Structure 1
Amino acid sequence: MIKTLFIAAFMMAAVPAFAQDTPAADEAALSAEAMALAKTNYDDFCAACHAANGSGDIGPSLRGNGKLADAAFVYRQIAQGGSEMPGFVDVLSTDELLALATYVRTNFGNDYGPVTEEDAGLAE
């Protein structure tokens, strides 16, 4: 009986430790890290024109902007730039560009969802 209780206690202690090392837990942590870096990149590269709160200044408002519904457009705009906007493909990595596009689409009152490699035309 004591041996059975010991094994049960061991299993109960091991399950949470194992769950922390699963890919889903790692993905959630990476996602949080990626969004924190995306916010920093937004503050560094975007806020001067689009405002810290996304309301626009020199650049257009990102709040409720219907163009953000098109994930491919958002990625291209950030990577390649536009008429007045510089591109950041030579400044940010692909992962940073995807995260920044996702950050813009999921903040400032927007709820469009993440930008994937497939959305950006990068999937093989």
Structure 2
Amino acid sequence: MHSPDAQYFLDKDYQLDYRPIANAQDLLRLSNDFMQEEKKYEGIWAREVLRFLDYDQLYRIISHYLSLLKSYGTLFCSFRYGQSNKRSQDGMVLLDMTEGKLKQLLVKLDYDIHFKHWLNRYETPNEIQNWFNVQITKLD
């Protein structure tokens, strides 16, 4: 069974290398075990999952993902918008993101990139969530 995001791309006839990820350990293991072939992907869709990482892990994973992208390949990711890092009910730290935190991270990368970001609002019966969406395109 695929996520709604994965199903959208399948319905558009994209070829997917889909792997569900539930936490930071899954993500780090997947990146080490399965994603080693450089310049293989045209896009990596990492919606919400990168927020399970701490800031240092996030830098390493984004750098690794950029190595996996073909020229002009795109990485898409999203985070809750804000300054704080919050603990979830199971004790996991969830990384929030802002424009400033993103720029501090991206200037450290050894890649020629273009990025854009935007905010959107998601309302649930219990809360209003603001999401910080990021699209990073590798230019080399």
TM over 0.5: no
Q: TM-score, normalised by structure 1?
A: 0.29
Question: Which one has a bigger Cα radius of gyration?
Answer: 1
- The structure whose residues are more often helix, as a share, is 1
Q: Which has the higher strand share?
A: 2
